[in-house]
């Protein structure tokens, strides 16, 4: 059994899981290792030379041109990929020192345990970095650096350099570690390092240390802690560039991160940033600020203005800069323009933008994913399926990707494939509501009931799950189904699906008064729904209100998606019951 100490002071993020992967890497099936190369390199960067890496524009961009940052959920995706790898290559491990572990290791262990991997997690850390004078720490740092193991640059080396004799060496050690954590989405580790830097920073390093802290807090989604840092820094500075970048970030806090969004305040901050960029005659940063304002305008519902800003930014970059400069940000702008065009319903133009970004950054999975989503909406299913599957090969797994492929497979009649995708989503994230509902809809009733009841243990207050339970019970257990629909409507009285299906159940139980009342309410919420009109018409017909039934059947015929044959049959029955001739029906 391997015994692995997770104390993050040794190797920073992924100290534990990275040590595990380095230990077993030589025994991995080469095809398995290649399939999980991105995850392996993420947790054990020393293995990059043996596996290579996908050269996305993000990876190729010089640091000063990096404008795209991973979601903080990337570490979760990495963890899921490593779990899949270790399911295929089981290993006995005891992890120790969890009270000092980085959140990346804790996240992995939590997901691994939930997904069925059994590791021992007991015992204290034995890591001792040592204390001594500056010469001692210089010696330790030099020895560790000589080992050539990059992950040591994320923990032990900054620790020793901070206590050594050279401020320049300490600053460089922190810069390397912080840049890596920023680029690889190890944001909790980056904040830990930034806090350590702030504790020892010289006055001349104050701005750097505090902006590092603020950046990691921003990326961790903690706006309440970012804002006071920036106001303090703005109060200390009259440098236009600093005020421009901080005004931009304040705008993003208010339009993206705060639970209570304030897009008008965001617009005020981004306008300040644009004014400063204009005064500095800085085309790149002006375009960057335009892009930020485009997001604010989109959130305000001003899609045409958002499109204008992004388009103007693209044109300005093309005029002002060499085509090889800022290739990453150019792709971001084109992608953003595609998203705005899609929101405007201009699908062909949006697709052209997505085609462009996939062409310039073919190994970036999110571009493939977004193009697949658009293709699916456009009904170009074969191409969408191809893009989903390419995205799966290009990066670690994430639930939305497999959910959307499952949805497409179901549309194409591949029920077995769709069920497999939805089950995999729930294996990763059991509280993923849409996948659970979609899976239940495809399964036979007894299996569907089990899937929904499992979901209700996790999300007892979710009305749609109670409704799904009712749907699964309707054919064989109508009384229980009625109870489930009652529970759904208690949680959400306006849930049309529950109203309609409770009405159907009520009809079967002979309670036509309740059924018609539910359908009346459903039609108040969705007045043009032909299926609900048909159901209410059928209810009226069942109680002899043939005139009302005919009115509903005729109204339903005027809406797209209506079942004309069923409606005409209903009209014919009512005409017959009332003794009205066929000419009147026509």
> What does each of the 586 residues of the chain score in pLDDT, given as a tens digit?
899 999 999 999 999 999 999 999 999 999 999 999 999 999 999 999 999 777 888 888 888 888 889 999 999 999 999 999 999 999 999 999 999 999 999 999 999 999 999 999 988 898 888 889 999 999 999 999 999 999 999 999 999 999 999 999 999 999 999 999 999 999 999 999 999 999 999 999 999 999 999 999 999 999 999 999 999 999 999 999 999 999 999 999 999 999 999 999 999 999 999 999 999 988 999 999 999 999 999 999 999 999 999 999 999 999 998 988 999 999 999 999 999 999 999 999 999 999 999 999 999 999 999 999 999 999 999 999 999 999 999 999 999 999 999 999 999 999 999 999 999 999 999 999 999 999 999 999 999 999 999 999 999 999 999 999 999 999 999 999 999 999 999 999 999 999 999 999 999 999 999 999 999 999 999 999 999 999 999 999 999 999 999 999 999 999 999 999 999 999 999 999 998 654 444 4
Place of tokens 């002071």: 9
d(CA 81, CA 177): 24
Q: Which residue in the block uniquely carries the two structure tokens 């991973």? A: 70
Which residues lie below 8 Å from residue 170, measured CB to CB, with a gap of 6+? Answer: 158, 161, 162, 164, 200
Which residue shows structure tokens 């009809």?
Answer: 507
CA 75, 148, 6, 91 dihedral sign is positive
pLDDT of residue 584: 45
136 close to 164: Cβ distance less than 8 angstroms: no
Q: How far is CA 397 from CA 78, 364, 410, 506, in A?
A: 8, 13, 20, 43
What pLDDT is stored for residue 52 in this prediction?
78
- 193 by Cβ neighbours in 10 Å (0-12 / 13-18 / 19+) ranks as buried
Two structure tokens written together for 565: 């044959």
Half-sphere exposure of 318 (CA within 13 A, CB side): 9
* Helix, coil or strand: residue 185: coil
Report the greatest alpha carbon distance in the chain: 106
Please write the tens of the pLDDT for every residue from 199-252. Answer: 999 999 999 999 999 999 999 999 999 999 999 999 999 999 999 999 999 999
Return the DSSP state at 253.
I
- pLDDT of 232: 97
Q: Return d(Cα 153, Cα 514) in angstroms, integer.
A: 69
454 and 430 Cβ atoms separated by less than 8 Å: yes
Shortest CA distance to 547 belongs to which of 570, 515, 517?
570
What element of type H or E holds 548? helix 546-557
Contacts of 70 (CB under 8 A, 6+ apart): 184, 185
CA dist 378 and 60 (Å) reads 32
Tell me the three state secondary structure of residue 103.
helix
For residues 202-222, b (16+ Cβ closer than 10 Å) or e, as one string? eeebeebbbbbbbbbbbbbeb
At residue 581, the pLDDT reads 54
């Amino acid at each position: 059994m391997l015994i692995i100490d997770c104390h993050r002071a040794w190797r920073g993020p992924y100290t534990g899981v990275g040590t595990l992967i380095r230990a077993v890497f030589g025994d991995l099936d080469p095809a398995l290792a290649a399939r999980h190369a991105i995850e392996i390199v993420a947790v054990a960067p020393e293995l990059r030379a043996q596996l290579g890496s996908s050269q996305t524009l993000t990876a190729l961009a010089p640091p000063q041109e990096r404008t795209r940052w991973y979601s903080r959920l990337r570490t979760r995706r990495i963890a899921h990929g490593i779990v899949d790898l270790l399911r295929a290559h089981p290993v006995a491990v005891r992890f120790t020192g969890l009270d000092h572990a980085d959140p990346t290791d804790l996240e992995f262990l939590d997901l691994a345990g939930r997904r069925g991997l059994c590791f021992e997690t007991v015992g204290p850390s034995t890591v001792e970095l040592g204390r001594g004078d500056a010469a001692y720490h210089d010696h330790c740092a030099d020895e560790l650096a000589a080992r050539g193991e990059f992950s040591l640059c994320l923990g032990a080396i900054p620790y020793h350099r901070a206590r050594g004799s050279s401020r320049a060496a300490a600053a460089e050690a922190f810069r390397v570690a912080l840049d890596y954590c920023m680029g690889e989405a190890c944001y909790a580790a980056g904040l830990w390092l930034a806090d350590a830097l702030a504790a020892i920073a010289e006055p001349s390093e104050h701005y750097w240390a505090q902006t590092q802290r603020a950046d990691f807090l921003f990326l961790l989604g903690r706006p309440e802690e970012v804002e006071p840092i920036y106001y303090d820094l703005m109060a200390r500075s009259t440098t236009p560039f600093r005020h421009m970048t901080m005004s931009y970030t304040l705008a993003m806090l208010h339009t993206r991160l705060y639970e209570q969004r304030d897009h008008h305040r965001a617009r005020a901050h981004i306008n300040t940033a644009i004014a400063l960029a204009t005064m500095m005659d800085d085309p790149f940063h002006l375009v960057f600020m335009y892009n930020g304002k485009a997001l604010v305008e989109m959130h305000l519902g001003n899609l045409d203005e958002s499109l204008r800003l992004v388009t103007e930014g693209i044109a300005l970059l093309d005029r002002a800069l060499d085509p090889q400069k800022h290739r990453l940000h150019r792709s971001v702008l084109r992608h953003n323009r595609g998203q705005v065009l899609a929101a405007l319903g201009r699908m062909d133009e949006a697709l052209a933008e997505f085609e462009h970004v996939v062409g310039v950054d073919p190994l970036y999975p999110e571009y493939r994913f977004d193009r697949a989503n658009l293709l699916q909406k456009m009904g170009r299913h074969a191409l969408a399926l191809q893009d989903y599957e390419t995205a799966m090969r290009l990066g670690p797994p994430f639930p939305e990707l497999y959910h959307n492929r499952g949805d497409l497979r179901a549309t194409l009649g591949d029920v077995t494939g769709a069920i497999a995708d939805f089950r995999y989503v729930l294996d990763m994230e059991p509280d993923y509501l849409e996948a659970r509902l979609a899976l239940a809809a495809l399964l036979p009733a007894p299996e569907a009931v089990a899937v929904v009841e499992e979901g209700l243990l996790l999300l007892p207050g979710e009305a749609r799950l109670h409704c799904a339970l009712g749907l699964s019970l309707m054919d064989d257990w109508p009384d229980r189904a009625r109870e489930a629909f009652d529970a759904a409507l208690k949680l959400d009285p306006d849930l049309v699906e529950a109203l309609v299906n409770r009405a159907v159940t009520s009809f079967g139980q002979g309670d036509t008064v309740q059924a018609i009342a539910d359908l009346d309410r459903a039609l108040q919420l969705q007045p043009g729904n032909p299926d609900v009109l048909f159901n209410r018409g059928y209810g009226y017909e069942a109680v002899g209100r043939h005139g009302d039934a005919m009115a509903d059947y005729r109204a339903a015929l005027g809406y797209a998606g209506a079942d004309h044959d069923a409606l005409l049959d209903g009209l014919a029955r009512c005409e017959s019951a009332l003794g009205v001739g066929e000419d009147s029906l026509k």
